[in-house]
Amino acid sequence: MAELEKAVTQAGESHESLSSLLCSEERDFLIRNNGEKVKVEELEGKYVGLYFSAHWCPPCRYFTPVLSEIYKKLLEKGDFEIVFISADRDEKSFEEYHHTMPWLALPFSDENTRKKLDQVFKVDGIPCLVFLDKEGRAITTEGVETIGEYGVEAYPFTAERIDELKAKEEALRAAQTVESLLLSDERDFVLGHEGTQVPVAELAGKTVGLYFSAHWCGPCRSFTPQLVEIYNELLKKGEAFEIVFLSRDKEEKAFEEYYASMPWLALPFADNTQKKLSRYFRIEGIPTLIILGPDGKTIRNDAVGLIREYGIRAYPFTKERLDDLEAEEKAKREAQTLESVLVSDERNFVIKHGGAQVLVSELVGKTVALYFSAHWCPPCRGFTPKLIQVYNELKERGEAFEIVFISSDKDQEAFEDYYKSMPWLALPFGDKTKKDLSRIFRVRGIPSLIVVGPDGKTLTDNARGAVSTHGAKAYPFTDAHLERLEKEMEELVEKSPKEIRYSQHEHPLVLTRRPVFCCDGCNEGGTAWSYYCKDCDYDLHLTCAFKDQPDLGNQDKGQGTDAAMDENCKPAGVICDGDVCYKASGS
């Protein structure tokens, strides 16, 4: 918002006339999308928007329909026009794109004027919307942001008008009620199912959630069932709580289908209040859940994360409640034992192959790693063999170490198929404790390896990185030990040549810090450091380089930098961001 204010107040470059900006020696006209010519002089005395845009630009294609709605409303004022300044690559693209616009355009053939305007207004990205006043002075170069923030209310886009809107908004926030947010001139109700109308006045005095969501949004579809469960539980308890759905769907049919899965209220699909509230709360992504207190004031700008973190315990979402939850979590961490983590009211055991039960009490006093993983996740499948190698090595050494697999697989069959490859213990598939463990250890993606020490306290929540870089040498995963290993790695890197020649690659390889890579020498993953060819995207473990050239030194080669990575890391239904997989649904 500060940048928008700066752009509004600092813009104001004066020009001799609008014609000096938009005309050339050969041309004194603009064109409509039907080929009609309009003299530039007809725009004199009007507010003009110069719209720098291109069809190849997705943000432009998203913004253009929004701007079209604003334009149609402002045309009624009789003193406003928009001129399209194309950044398309050819005239055909320009014409196809301009055909979707109801305003004028600079002819695509006038490349010199287009370049001149780019330079005059320092356009370094599109879409860009420059507003000029009636004297041809630039009011603001941040018209896209102005429209996004205030819509048609921003007209005539001057600094004074923006200040007026800001003051109005501050006044609204100070006097905010559920009625001031949800009522409109045409409507005093929200919708229930089967078209029933519920007066907005009935929401006064309740804690209300405004749920911005859409059926096309995977994370929304994942979160909605969790929110439904919490909503129903709170109603059973008699809590004064309600939710109003504000749809971001693109058509009414999708809205109706999605709303059918929700037990709460909704705003009518085409109601302009939805857009007003999106601007008011500055909604940047969905799902978003705004919480209003019984007095109608905003308690939380986004409760989605809180519900994912704490579930129903987050209610009523006040600062006092969240402070209590933080204090509870801190106390639990300080009193954490292996049994408090793994034992539930229904179960005091984990399982091994064949379904045999192993009491959690038998693991007390050992170093225990909790392995969050799933067969559908390519990085997991890449990391598991490395972890098996480390596990077997530690067992052969007689270390008091164990691993418990915590599955994110989709069904029992997938769990069992994946678990067959593992030599360690597991939490029973579908156990409710899994959700609590993900919350306690803040597991956001998989594979994730959490290590709990012999005293039951967490040693590290990034054991995966330690195993990837140091292998079995990472044991026992204490801070002091891992810091020592990192120092040894730094020393190894310091002693290693900064550039080498490798017999299997034609170009020199440069020692490079690489968060994640796949070694082209052994086809295994790696982290931290590799010998890298930027031209060919070729990586080599330090250890693989040393095998090829033993004269690189007699350094301790350690366990290499094996890590978890599968080159084919984007199957349907999941998002694999680098070396971490998330379910595409956002779970």
CA-CA-CA-CA dihedral for 243, 246, 252, 258, to nearest 10: -50
CA-CA-CA-CA dihedral for 410, 415, 417, 418, to nearest 10: 100
Q: Residue 263: what pLDDT?
A: 97
Express the helix, strand and coil content of the chain in percent, nearest 5 each.
Answer: 40, 20, 35
Number of H helices, E strands in the chain: 20, 28
Q: Residue 440: what pLDDT?
A: 84
If you ran DSSP here, which 8-state letter would residue 307 be given?
H
The alpha-helical segments, DSSP class H, found in 412-477 are 412-419, 433-440, 463-470
Contact (CB, 8 A) for 552 and 497: yes
Q: Which residues contact 538 (CB under 8 A, 6 or more apart)?
A: 505, 507, 509, 520, 532
Structural domains in the chain plus CATH codes: 1-168 (3.40.30.10), 178-327 (3.40.30.10), 338-486 (3.40.30.10), 496-547+570-586 (no CATH)
Q: Residue 16: what pLDDT?
A: 54
pLDDT (tens, 9 = 90+) of the chain, 587 residues, equals 444 344 333 344 444 578 889 999 999 999 999 999 999 999 999 999 999 999 999 999 989 998 999 999 999 999 999 999 999 999 999 999 999 999 999 999 999 999 999 999 999 899 999 999 998 889 999 999 898 888 888 999 998 999 998 888 888 888 899 999 999 888 999 999 988 999 999 999 999 999 999 999 989 998 999 999 999 999 999 999 999 999 999 899 999 999 999 999 999 998 888 888 988 888 888 999 999 999 999 999 889 989 988 889 999 999 999 999 889 888 888 889 999 999 998 999 999 998 899 999 999 999 999 999 999 988 898 889 989 999 999 999 999 999 999 999 989 999 999 999 999 999 999 898 898 888 888 887 889 999 999 999 999 988 988 888 788 999 999 999 998 988 887 888 888 889 988 888 889 999 988 877 778 887 766 667 889 998 888 988 887 787 766 555 443 333 333 333 333 333 334 454 444 444 444 43
Helix 159-174 with 2-10: angle, nearest 10 deg: 150
Residue with tokens 């999106």: 278
Q: Which residues contact 241 (CB under 8 A, 6 or more apart)?
A: 206, 207, 208, 209, 231, 234, 235, 315, 316
Q: Residue 574: what pLDDT?
A: 46
Closest listed residue to residue 519, CA positions, set 551, 555, 452, 567: 567
Rounded Cα distance between 470 and 582, Å, is 25
